[in-house]
Amino acid sequence: MTVSEPTPRIWVLHDGKIGMANQVLGLAEALGWPFEEKRLVIRAPWRHLTPHLWLYPMRALDPAGASLAPPWPDVIIACGRNTVALARTAKRRSGGQVFWVQVQDPRFARNEVDLIVAPRHDRMDGSNGFSTLGAVHRVSRAQLADAAAHLDPRLARLPQPLLAVLIGGDNAAYRLTDRGFARLCDQLADLAHKGFGLAITPSRRTDEGRTAQLRERLKGLPAMIWDGSGDNPYFAMLAAADAILVTADSVSMVSEAAATGKPVYVIPLEGGSAKFARFHAAMRAADITRDFTGTIEQWTYAPPEDTARAAAEIRRRMGRQAP
């Protein structure tokens, strides 16, 4: 008789930023074991310091967030600068028994992380690195199938072909300028006049004034702009769309869109960086994305399986079989 292995205890660490949370939650979900999500709140002065300067990292935890205390888990999956010193401290206090997975470049303590899961454009080297094409995420075939089977009524009322439009905003690399946004509004209105349905979701980086401008420009046209109320139709939008438009500022949104296997158009923004340039070039080379110029075509590709591959690598390094 085969004796089954005990289920590993897993902590998922993030500081509440949705982009970070989705990556670690998606990776934990792909592992297939139960996990405990720990949303951390960092207090002053630690939140004002770079993590490699943190003294007594566990004192950085504000009681308003999760606590980190024994018994230590078997696995920690963390993402974001505010998690690095804390994950390292937990691993050290466990006597090295914690298997520490850090999503994205931790920037310090790299030699103590058991596995760093980072996009190829981060150029992570070393035996403890695992490269993905894009970001890991929560968009899975099962979630898309469930969303398609229970289609949001707001989307069902829109005409087809349906375009999902994912809009970000300014970040350290890109700027969504007045001129660029006005051009995008005109392009979307033109597509709606041609018979396309538009399902649009702004992100937390989208200025409210931009959303109001878009709503006014598309008034009377077949478009749904999520206003933040009710259930988030994000998965339903990805499941129902015939093609997806994404602003260039988010590796995560482009990666999530690519999980559908549907045409993904990247909406250009002003600015950029070497890392973003490498990412977008790799996605274009794989014929996953194309630059948006106002027209819509159809093409197919094999969706990247970054999240599933990363989960398999964690299990392999732990010497564990999938549940």
Residue ranges covered by each domain of the chain: 10-133+306-318, 141-291
Structure confidence at residue 3 (pLDDT): 53
Span 25-30, average pLDDT: 97
In three-state secondary structure terms, 238 is helix
Span 189-197, average pLDDT: 97
Residue 164 has pLDDT above 90, yes or no: yes
Q: For the chain, what percent of residues have pLDDT higher than 70?
A: 99
Structure confidence at residue 125 (pLDDT): 76
Span 173-184, average pLDDT: 95
How far is Cα 223 from Cα 215, in angstroms, rounded to an integer? 9
Mean pLDDT of the chain: 94
Q: Please give the full DSSP string across 103-164, using - where no structure is assigned.
A: ES--SS-GGG-SEEEEEGGG---STTEEEESS---S--HHHHHHHHHT--HHHHTS-SSEEE
Residue 2 has pLDDT above 70, yes or no: no
pLDDT digit string, tens, across residues 235-288: 999 999 999 999 999 999 999 999 999 999 999 999 999 999 999 999 999 999
In three-state secondary structure terms, 223 is strand
pLDDT digit string, tens, across residues 52-81: 899 999 999 999 999 999 999 999 999 999
- The answer to whether the CB of 106 falls within 8 A of the CB of 76 is no
What pTM value is reported for the model?
A: 0.92
How far is Cα 54 from Cα 82, in angstroms, rounded to an integer? 10
Residue 6 has pLDDT above 70, yes or no: yes
- The answer to whether the CB of 322 falls within 8 A of the CB of 32 is yes
Pairing label, strands 270-271, 99-103: unpaired
Architecture of domain 141-291: 3-Layer(aba) Sandwich (3.40)
Q: For the chain, what percent of residues have pLDDT higher than 90?
A: 84
- Judge if the upstream peptide bond of residue 303 is cis by omega within 30 degrees of 0: no
Asked whether this chain's domains 10-133+306-318 and 141-291 adopt the same fold, the reply is: yes
Residues contacting residue 294 through CB under 8 Å, at least 6 positions apart? 187, 190, 191
Q: Is CATH 3.40.50 correct for 10-133+306-318?
A: yes
Rg (CA), the chain: 21
pLDDT digit string, tens, across residues 122-145: 888 789 999 999 999 999 999 999
